[in-house]
Amino acid sequence: MVNKKVIIIFGLGWQQAKYIKFLKKKKYYLIGIDQSPINFLKNDVDDLIIENIFDTEKIYLKLKSLNIKKPYKIISFLSDTCELAAYKLRKKYKLISDLYKKVEFAIDKEFQLKELKKNRVFCPKTFFLSTKDINKKKIVKFPIITKPVDSSGSRGVIKINNKKDLVKNISKSLKYSRKNRVLLQEYLP
């Protein structure tokens, strides 16, 4: 059983170093959660859970095995994707915050586009593509940009110059989408 206040931190990239070191100096018991076994700050936390950050149930069970009954805080720094996962875990522990809709809006490009169009904001021509639709879409004009509909930090964003590039690179964008959907958008230089 841990006798200090427990803070669970989603994401252990170099960007979080300053904050994690600050919390460590304050004598909190830090549990880091990251999906990568090769992470920058694994030696700066008291416990480390390597798990898909969206598998909240597995993370919760691992925390229970560490005898974590109710953490003091569940946080993420500088990552909207990690904030979604932190929100889901906060909900399990009944540490609710209202950030979910704000963060979801920041990540969900399909929802953003609908809201922008509804408010008559100019948007590039866009259509959506799922894994099963790859060979069905007819692209009229290249270049285009492909983006996962639910990713952040420019992961999976690729400029496509022709049909050959599209076939070659679409799976790279799709691998960053939890929904297996990407948007194809006219390129505006």
Confirm if 145 and 159 have CB atoms less than 8 A apart: yes
Find the angle CA(135)-CA(136)-CA(139) to the nearest 5 degrees. Answer: 90
Query: Residue 154 in 3-state DSSP?
Result: coil
pLDDT of residue 140: 66
Q: Is the pLDDT of residue 58 over 90?
A: yes
Instruction: Cite the beta strand spans of the chain per DSSP E.
Output: 6-10, 29-34, 47-50, 73-76, 126-130, 144-148, 158-160, 181-186
The string of pLDDT tens digits covering residues 72-109 is 999 987 677 788 888 889 988 988 766 666 767 777 88
181-186 and 126-130 as β-strands: parallel, antiparallel, unpaired? antiparallel
pLDDT of residue 32: 94
Tokens of residue 31, six digits: 């549990």
